[in-house]
């Protein structure tokens, strides 16, 4: 309608922001959808009153009053054509109704265009999460419907009463062991909420460790010498004969990053589809040899996905940390080992995607329901997927990774199973994350003497190639220093 289009120009909004437009007698009512200016109904009607004379001059209508309705919370504008006769009023009302219908169609077209643009933007943003396939469009449409559902519920919950249960899982459900009612829920709504640093370190120890880290980072020559010494370090024993066996070579993504014979995960042969105990994965022990703290592994290949889920099941894992996109710069880094939606069967393991939630542009969280179809046993587990860590490089900042780690540990807290950590080759990014987490966990337990180089040698004794570059080693030092600094700030002074 011309009146609403002119009003939209005055308040700097698009005409598509007016919804639920209706004409009842001389009254024109409408609602306002969420907009970039964050204008409410009251703001718009107040502005309409301020520019009343201009609206009358441009439309030839006389505006009797403006306001916000009490029952339906809809704005109303009461126009009346000056010096009109009764027959003319009927004609005008008909014209107003026709214009209203036309305006509604225009608003619908604008909404569709906005939706298509948003969908295109989301596709570009999530393109790195996996290769394009036959189900890609369906997945994005489903995510878009979820976003629209959440937005609608937020805008009209007061006017329409209590909301109905949503298929989109809540943020808190990501950290629940209970089975979710919905078989598959996706949300692309960012939910950035930084976890506070755990203030469980005495001040003197914190300052001592921080000074040690900062000295390392300032002294570039010392840092370079330390890295050279680490590169020259050789683990003993260091044979990888099993990984290089004829039947196992094809199970390795990268020939240079293989598990040691003395430190590798062994699958149960009777449950393996290939009747082999081999998988490219290494247990990483922190202090108790009976209970690995981590399992460092490569990103699954298409023909090792069943082996991966067998390892998840047999290790009792409840948390997976994924540090690579599926595809980076056109190169496949990892095969998708979970279903796009619903469930998929990998040998005897049925994996059901319960929810997928994007916390921020750097990482997302997925919840899975895992079932052994032979025994009918079921489990739940959570995958934390960090997206902004390039292969052989480092994230642009330590802050997102540190918050990511806090969320992982919040989910893992109190459990006694290993955390499965993987990137593409199970070495560079995987080793850097394990190194950061292990050092910070030692600090949290009260260890006062921290030697990151010695810790790296300790984990390299268990898997070769962990932390692939000097930049990644320096990033680990910086991350530890920044987390200690955050803990010190959180302590009562």
Q: What is the pLDDT of residues 367-399, one digit of tens each?
A: 999 999 999 999 999 999 999 999 889 999 999
Bigger pLDDT: 182 or 454? 454
Cα 59 to Cα 1, 19, 81, 307, distances in angstroms? 10, 21, 9, 71
Residue ranges of the chain assigned to CATH 3.30.70.2470: 1-59
Residues 229-238 have a mean pLDDT of 94
Direct distance between the N- and C-terminal alpha carbons of the chain, in angstroms, rounded to an integer: 63
Start-end of CATH 3.90.190.10 domains in the chain: 203-490
- Specify the higher pLDDT residue, 412 or 139: 412
What pLDDT was estimated at residue 131? 41
* C-alpha–C-alpha distance, residues 144 and 189, integer Å: 10
Which residue pairs, CB below 8 angstroms and at least 24 apart, start in 480-484?
480/209, 480/213, 480/436, 480/439, 480/440, 480/450, 480/452, 481/210, 481/213, 481/214, 481/217, 482/398, 482/399, 482/402, 483/197, 483/398, 483/402, 483/440, 484/201, 484/206, 484/209, 484/210, 484/213, 484/443
What local confidence, expressed as pLDDT, does residue 170 receive?
32
- Which pLDDT score is estimated for 149? 40
Q: What percent of the chain has pLDDT over 70?
A: 78
The yes-or-no answer on residue 423 being catalytic is yes
List phi, psi (to 5°) of 360. -160, -175
Closest CA to 422 of 328, 333, 315: 333
Least confident of 207-221, 262-276, 383-397, 462-476: 207-221
Can you tell me which residue has the tokens 């589809």?
Answer: 273
Tell me what pLDDT residue 406 has.
95
Omega within 30 of 0 (cis) for the link into 385 = no
The pair of three-digit structure tokens given for residue 396, joined into one six-digit string: 């642009």
Could you tell me which CATH class the domain 203-490 is placed in?
alpha beta
Pairing of strands 419-422, 294-297: parallel
**Range 316-322 average pLDDT:** 97
* pLDDT band with cut points at 50, 70 and 90 for residue 107: confident
Q: Is the pLDDT reported for residue 82 higher than 50?
A: no
Mean pLDDT of 165-173: 32
The CATH number assigned to the domain with range 1-59 reads 3.30.70.2470
Catalytic residue among 317, 334, 411, 423: 423
- pLDDT the model gives residue 215: 81
Arithmetic mean of pLDDT, 325-352: 96
| Residue 166 predicted with pLDDT over 80 | no
- The answer to pTM > 0.85 is no
Across 205-209, 314-318, 442-446, 451-455, least confident range: 205-209
Q: Are 407 and 447 in contact (CB under 8 A)?
A: no
The residue that leads in pLDDT, 40 or 358, is 358
Looking at residue 79, its pLDDT comes to: 53
Q: Are 134 and 330 in contact, with CB atoms under 8 Å apart?
A: no
């Amino acid at each position: 309608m011309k009146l609403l289009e002119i009003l939209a120009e005055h308040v700097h909004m698009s005409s598509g922001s007016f919804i639920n437009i209706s004409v009842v007698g001389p009254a024109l009512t409408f609602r306002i959808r969420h907009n970039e200016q964050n204008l409410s109904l009251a703001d718009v009607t107040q502005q309409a009153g301020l520019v009343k004379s201009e609206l009358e001059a441009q439309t030839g209508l006389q505006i009797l009053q403006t306001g916000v309705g009490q029952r339906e919370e809809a704005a109303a504008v009461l126009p009346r054509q000056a010096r009109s006769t009764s027959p003319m009023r009927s004609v005008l009302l008909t014209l107003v109704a026709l214009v209203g219908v036309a305006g509604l169609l225009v608003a619908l077209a604008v909404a569709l265009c906005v939706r298509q643009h948003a969908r295109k933007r989301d596709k570009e943003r999530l393109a790195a999460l996996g290769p394009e396939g036959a189900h890609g469009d369906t997945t994005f449409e489903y995510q878009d419907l979820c976003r629209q559902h959440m937005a609608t519920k937020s805008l009209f919950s007061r006017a329409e009463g209590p909301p109905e249960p949503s298929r989109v899982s809540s943020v808190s459900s990501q950290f629940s062991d209970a089975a979710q009612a919905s078989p598959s829920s996706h949300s692309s709504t960012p939910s950035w909420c930084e976890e506070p640093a755990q203030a469980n370190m005495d001040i003197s120890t914190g300052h001592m460790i921080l000074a040690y880290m900062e000295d390392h980072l300032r002294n570039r020559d010392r840092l370079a010498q330390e890295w050279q010494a680490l590169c020259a370090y050789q683990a003993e024993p260091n044979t990888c004969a099993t990984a290089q066996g004829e039947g196992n070579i094809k199970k390795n993504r990268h020939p240079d990053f293989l598990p040691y014979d003395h430190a590798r995960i062994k699958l149960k042969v009777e449950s393996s589809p290939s009747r082999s105990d081999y998988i490219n994965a290494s247990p990483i022990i922190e202090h108790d040899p009976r209970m690995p703290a981590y399992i460092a592994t490569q990103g699954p290949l298409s023909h090792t996905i069943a082996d991966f889920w067998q390892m998840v099941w047999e290790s009792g894992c409840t948390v997976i940390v994924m540090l690579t996109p599926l595809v980076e710069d056109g190169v496949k880094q990892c095969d998708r080992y979970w279903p796009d939606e619903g469930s998929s069967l990998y040998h005897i393991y049925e994996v059901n995607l319960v929810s997928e939630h994007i916390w921020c542009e750097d990482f997302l969280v997925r919840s899975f329901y895992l079932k052994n179809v032979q025994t009918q046993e079921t489990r739940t587990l959570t995958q934390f997927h960090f997206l902004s860590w390039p292969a052989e490089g480092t994230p642009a900042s330590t802050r997102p990774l540190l918050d990511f780690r806090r969320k992982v540990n919040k989910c893992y807290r109190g459990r006694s199973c290993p955390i499965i950590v993987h990137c593409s080759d199970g070495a560079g990014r995987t080793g850097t994350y394990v190194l950061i987490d292990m050092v910070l966990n030692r600090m949290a337990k009260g260890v006062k003497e921290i030697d990151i180089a010695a810790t790296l040698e300790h984990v390299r004794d268990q898997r070769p190639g962990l932390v692939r570059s000097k930049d990644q080693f320096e990033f680990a030092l910086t991350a530890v220093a920044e987390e200690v600094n955050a803990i010190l700030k959180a302590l009562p002074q």
